[in-house]
Amino acid sequence: MVTFKDLSTSAKNTWCPGCGNFSILNAFKRAIVKLDLNPEKILIISGIGCHGKITDYINVNSIHAIHGRVLPVATGAKLANHELIVVGFAGDGDAYSIGLGHLPHAARRNIDILYIVHNNMVFGLTTGQATPTSPLGLKTRSTPFGVIENPLNPLALVIACGATFVARGYSGDINHLTWLIMEGLKHKGFAFIDILQPCVSFYNTYHYFSKRVYRLEDVEWEPTDRLKAYEKTFEWGDKIPIGIFYRKREKTLIEKLPQLKEKPLIKHGLKANIDKILVKYL
């Protein structure tokens, strides 16, 4: 049985003290332990940003991708070996700015991966610039007079694009976050969790969110109605819901590919003889 200690590494953690990334890291480790998953069967992929260091701090297979390319790498890995549990980690700048073009397609394909976004609404690694989820009026190094664009609603976007598991977590509620990640790992299909993760150095929203978030599970929310879930994502202000907004079991991309039904792509072998081609071009 895997233990919390088994998942630790010798890498020195360089996140700022109090960073919400610690909660996400620990919640993910706890989820693996509670589900008793085999670390050798887990592949995690991270992008560029403070979140990206998470691949150094978990003793599982990992890939550190370039900026905004977590989803294509995760998709390729899952298609090559669907026996792997593939989890992508991205920041809000990584996921919703340069990497946004990949999100709708991962959702509509229903590729069987878990995508976790560390959403602190600011570029923390580059010392505090605005991202697509920064609120109106926020003054940052790139918006000294305040953000003038409306913030992106990532949950509404992925629901509209066909995601079959859509949730929001809060790094200040680690028990609930652990449960959310467990449910995301168990889901068959594209699972998306946007995590409100305060950046203590450049945009500390701990007190703001702690006073406003509430669990959907505490109000008997039923996450089966897609339209109601879409409408619920726009609730923001004095009360901010966290939890599973929408969940539905549908055929995954892998299940729609008959050539992968028998075994993973990596076990098919290369049947074509390419010796003549190699001789010609070598």
What is the pLDDT confidence band of residue 81, given thresholds at 50, 70 and 90? very high
Residue 260 belongs to domain with CATH number: 3.40.50.970
* Number of other residues whose CB lies within 10 A of the CB of residue 161: 17
Model pTM greater than 0.75?
Answer: yes
In a domain, 2, yes or no: no
Mean pLDDT on 267-277: 78
Alpha-carbon gap, residue 50 to 52, rounded angstroms: 5
Does a structural domain hold residue 1? no
The per-residue b/e assignment along 9-21, b for 16 or more CB within 10 angstroms, e otherwise, is eeeeeebeeebbb
Residue 192 lies in a domain: yes
The model's pLDDT over 8-17, given as tens digits with 9 standing for 90+, comes to: 999 999 999 9
- Report the number of distinct structural domains present in the chain: 1
Per-residue pLDDT band for 273 (boundaries 50, 70, 90) equals confident
Q: How large is the average pLDDT for residues 253-261?
A: 91
For 259, the enclosing helix (H) or strand (E) is: none
Which helix (DSSP H) or strand (DSSP E) does residue 216 occupy? Answer: none
195 sits in the region (left: phi over 0; alpha: psi -120 to 50; else beta) called beta
DSSP per residue, 104-146: HHHHHHT-S-EEEEEE-SSBTTTTSB--TTPPTT---SS-TT-
Contact 172, 20 (CB under 8 A): yes
d(CA 131, CA 147): 9
pLDDT band at 133; cut points 50, 70, 90: very high
Written as six digits, the tokens of 138 are 């926020």
SS3 (DSSP) at 170: strand
Please give the helix or strand (H or E) that residue 92 lies within, else none: helix 92-93
Residue 42 domain-assigned?
yes
Q: Is residue 103 part of a domain?
A: yes
Expressed as residue numbers, the domain containing 224 is: 7-281
The predicted-structure confidence for 63-75, as pLDDT tens digits, reads as follows 999 999 999 999 9
State mean pLDDT over 21-31: 98
